[in-house]
Chains A and B, each alone.
Chain A
Amino acid sequence: MPLIEFIDFSFKYLGADSLALRKVNLNISDGEYVVITGPSGCGKTTLCRAINGLVPQFHRGYIAGNVTVDGKNTRAHNVADFAPIAGLVFQQPENQLVTLNVEREIAFGPENLGVEPTEIRRRVDELIDMLDLEHLREKHPHEMSGGEQQRVAIAATLALKPKVLVADEPTSNLDPQSAETILDLIADLNRRDLTVVLVEHRLDLVSKDASRVVLMDQGCIVADGEPRDVLSMDICQEIGVGIPKATQLYKRLKQRGFNLDKVPLTGAELAILVQEAKQR
């Protein structure tokens, strides 16, 4: 059974004129790294909220179809039931951090779920070590940079031992180097078997690590597959999704009759493919 299963799921926010999600069908299995992308307002954030039950339990509205996460239907369980299953990380870490130092922040979630204090202590130390937060241990979140705050928000989310990390544009307020650090961390967590669902516009930064790209438009899923396959489809440009420049150049070369061996996702890959084509 897939970890996350959307079956003909539609949702309309209370007071909105149109559906935010339209008959979405989506299966995500254990261990996948799924990037969700699409034009602004296409339903990406609503899809994230539907994974941990915020839709429909907190954000109310019209609902059709079903979402099942780890065997639990989101219609039948409250948000707290999904907290140890799906951990959400948002765009603005300061909207998510609630305590005065890093240790307390990480402990806050498990404390609320009634986890044993010795186990909480163990998780805090483990996460501080894993996410390289030792130097921030005693710091107030407001004394940290955006990238540091986001690392803390991820640590606090992981303290609940979720089966899937759902991150909604976690790097869009960060500078490119901090963004790269966070995305490397997420890719590393995925290699340690954590399932990842990541919403992102900047596909040049994430597509090399993802196992799958899901493209959305106007509340529907319009493409779903391997990053190289999805990003080389014409539909990306048609709906206004920015594909990596290396992939864009690959497509232009193809139009002019120069076929490279595969679709590149990074600048270095493109350079190698051009060299190989030249040697042929």
Chain B
Amino acid sequence: MILLEDVHFAYDGLYTALRGVSLQIDECERIAIVGSNGAGKTTLVKHLNGLLRPDQGRVILDGVDTKHFSVAELAREIGLVMQNPDHQLFLDSVEREVLFSLENLGYSKEESKARCNRTLNNLGLEGLSERSPFTLSGGERKRVALASVLATEPRILSLDEPTIGQDARQKENLAKMLGELNEKGKAVIVVTHDIEFVIENFPRTIAMANGRIIADGPTNSVLSNDDVLERCSLTRPQLTETARCLHKVFPEVTERLTLIDDLEAVVVKVLGGG
């Protein structure tokens, strides 16, 4: 669906952020992009919707080079939620903020209203629709920014650090909503440091360092690689740490990346139950 071919980019022609990035994103994919601060993750997702244009290389959507499309045209296909909600929010009520993007994309008043209500409900913002975003907490503002883009249901959804400031319940709600959009055929791309959120929700992981992709593949193999974790400034998740320590004593415990259900079953076995 979207293809990046050897994309290079430098800010002001001086500060190199991408040094030859190639990747393909298909419909229905769920992809996480990880990497340390300054690795080029945000620069990469800004190329998807044309906010930035490659100095070299191409970004191709449905077979057509996106240089032929304006940012407004691309916005119909590709939604981007930026890391800092304050760079995105500008209206004086939560509801108007969400309706703005829907009406701009040409949805009728009724349809916009229905989508807005549904999205606010899904993200636990229903009681706040009349509030000004600037009176909300950091986590709530982040969800308003998410709502304004999620409501438009673009074909490709890219989210820059969506879990910052969110508690466990809000993360679950977000994951559920992304899962539902994904089932409708939308591709979901997140940039994140939240490794547990990645393990639980994203089958494919792209790891970046110094403006290049250093690994791209199934999440459980990319994130089991210590070298990748180190170069991406990630720390080992607690359950992987547990599995590793246990593996030294109980060889039957695999030391790979693991979900809580799997580790629970393994530990129960070790302890001689179930």
Which among B38, B241, B242, B272 has the highest number of chain A CB atoms within 10 Å?
A: B242
Q: What 1/0 mask marks residues of chain B from 139 to 183 whose CB sits below 8 Å from any chain A CB?
A: 110010000000000000000010011111111100000000000
Q: Contacts A173-B164, A253-B267 hold; do A145 and B38 have CB atoms under 8 A apart?
A: yes
Q: What 1/0 mask marks residues of chain A from 75 to 94 whose CB sits below 8 Å from any chain B CB?
A: 00000000000000001100
Q: In the bound complex, what is the Cα–Cα distance between A38 and B169 (angstroms)?
A: 11
For window 145-160 of A, CB contacts with B under 8 Å fall at 145-147
Cβ of B28 < 8 Å from any Cβ of A?
no
Cβ of B135 < 8 Å from any Cβ of A?
yes
- From A175, A176, A248, B260 is in contact (CB under 8 Å) with A248
A274/B137 in contact, CB under 8 A = no
B260/A177 in contact, CB under 8 A = no
Q: In the bound complex, what is the Cα–Cα distance between A45 and B140 (angstroms)?
A: 13
For window 105-153 of A, CB contacts with B under 8 Å fall at 145-147
Q: Kindly list chain B residues whose C-beta atoms are within 8 Å of the C-beta of A237.
A: 168
Cβ of B228 < 8 Å from any Cβ of A?
no
For window 8-53 of A, CB contacts with B under 8 Å fall at 13, 15-16, 38-41, 45
Measured CB to CB, the closest approach of chain B to A254, in angstroms, equals 11
Q: Contacts A246-B238, A272-B245 hold; do A176 and B233 have CB atoms under 8 A apart?
A: yes
Which among B166, B171, B244 has the highest number of chain A CB atoms within 10 Å?
A: B166
Q: In the bound complex, what is the Cα–Cα distance between A256 and B272 (angstroms)?
A: 12
Cβ of B234 < 8 Å from any Cβ of A?
yes
- From A147, A175, A241, A244, B234 is in contact (CB under 8 Å) with A175
A201/B242 in contact, CB under 8 A = no
B135/A16 in contact, CB under 8 A = yes
Q: In the bound complex, what is the Cα–Cα distance between A96 and B109 (angstroms)?
A: 41
Q: Kindly list chain A residues whose C-beta atoms are within 8 Å of the C-beta of B268.
A: 253, 256, 258
| B249 and chain A: residue at smallest CB distance | A275
Interface residue total, chain B, C-beta cutoff 8 A:
51
| A90 and chain B: residue at smallest CB distance | B138
B249/A175 in contact, CB under 8 A = no
The interface stretch among A65-73, A188-196, A222-230, A263-271 is A263-271
For window 163-191 of A, CB contacts with B under 8 Å fall at 169, 172-180
Cβ of A233 < 8 Å from any Cβ of B?
no
Q: In the bound complex, what is the Cα–Cα distance between A51 and B273 (angstroms)?
A: 50
| A94 and chain B: residue at smallest CB distance | B84
Q: Kindly list chain A residues whose C-beta atoms are within 8 Å of the C-beta of B273.
A: 256-258
Q: Contacts A253-B264, A274-B267 hold; do A175 and B36 have CB atoms under 8 A apart?
A: yes
Q: What 1/0 mask marks residues of chain B from 231 to 274 whose CB sits below 8 Å from any chain A CB?
A: 01111111111101110011000000000100110011011111
Cβ of B195 < 8 Å from any Cβ of A?
yes
Measured CB to CB, the closest approach of chain A to B208, in angstroms, equals 12
Q: In the bound complex, what is the Cα–Cα distance between A257 and B272 (angstroms)?
A: 11
Q: In the bound complex, what is the Cα–Cα distance between A145 and B235 (angstroms)?
A: 18
Q: Kindly list chain B residues whose C-beta atoms are within 8 Å of the C-beta of A249.
A: 239, 242, 260, 263-264, 267
Interface residue total, chain A, C-beta cutoff 8 A:
51
B271/A39 in contact, CB under 8 A = no
A172/B165 in contact, CB under 8 A = yes
Cβ of A209 < 8 Å from any Cβ of B?
no
Measured CB to CB, the closest approach of chain A to B270, in angstroms, equals 6
B37/A178 in contact, CB under 8 A = yes
Q: Kindly list chain A residues whose C-beta atoms are within 8 Å of the C-beta of B136.
A: 41
A177/B36 in contact, CB under 8 A = yes
- From B36, B165, B260, B267, A245 is in contact (CB under 8 Å) with B260
Measured CB to CB, the closest approach of chain B to A183, in angstroms, equals 11
Q: Contacts A175-B233, A249-B242 hold; do A241 and B138 have CB atoms under 8 A apart?
A: no
A278/B135 in contact, CB under 8 A = no
Cβ of A240 < 8 Å from any Cβ of B?
yes
- From A145, A176, A246, B242 is in contact (CB under 8 Å) with A246
Cβ of B193 < 8 Å from any Cβ of A?
yes
Q: In the bound complex, what is the Cα–Cα distance between A243 and B242 (angstroms)?
A: 16
Given contacts A40-B167, A176-B195, A242-B171, list 12 more A-B pairs with CB under 8 A. Answer: A40-B170, A175-B232, A201-B168, A242-B168, A245-B196, A266-B241, A267-B236, A267-B237, A267-B245, A271-B244, A271-B249, A278-B250
By a beta-carbon cutoff of 8 Å, the part of chain A in contact with chain B is 13, 15-16, 38-41, 45, 91-92, 145-147, 169, 172-180, 201, 204, 237, 239-246, 248-249, 252-253, 256-258, 266-268, 270-272, 274-275, 277-278
